[in-house]
Amino acid sequence: MTQRIRAAVRGHEVVAGLLVAVALGLILLAVPRVERLVLLVGAASVLVLAVLLIERFVHGEPELTWTTSSGTPARVRGHDRRITALTRAIEASRRGDLVARATVQDTLRSLARDRTDLGPDLTAYLNATNPPDVDAARLDAHLTELEEH
């Protein structure tokens, strides 16, 4: 029973204290003979309210920590369908799939669209009408060049 009361009051200690004070005041006005008992209960409830408030302010609030992340969990690989599709296209292009080679080349073109001063090797790859076969090391070099520019 006390756990249910604590759960209901948690976070609303001031409101609960005011409700108890109003209830005790109404009882005191309605039945003047229980004046001392009501004052004793009222004093005890004020004391309990004070203890609850002190406990809440001292122990109830967790320590605030600041992070640089937005609070969203990091995505695991394969969660973003675009990256999964591009990964499959790269793997297929390495196996000789011409459509996948064109997809990889188009993706790199879109990344390079606003960049200038690209190296001759990357420029030749991006301007080729038929996408050449690119191994993993060369693709990594192209991506690194795009990141640097």
Q: Mean pLDDT, to the nearest integer, of 5-27? A: 72
pLDDT in tens, 61-116: 666 566 666 666 565 555 667 777 888 888 888 888 889 889 888 888 888 887 77
Tokens 């756990």 belong to residue? 3
Distances (CA, A) of 113 to 91, 120, 125, 128: 24, 15, 14, 15
For residue 39, the model assigns a pLDDT of 73
What mean pLDDT value characterizes the chain?
Answer: 76
pLDDT of residue 51: 80
Confidence (pLDDT) at 16: 72
Q: How many CB atoms lie within 10 A of CB 69?
A: 7
Instruction: Report whether 27 contacts 38 (CB < 8 A).
Output: yes
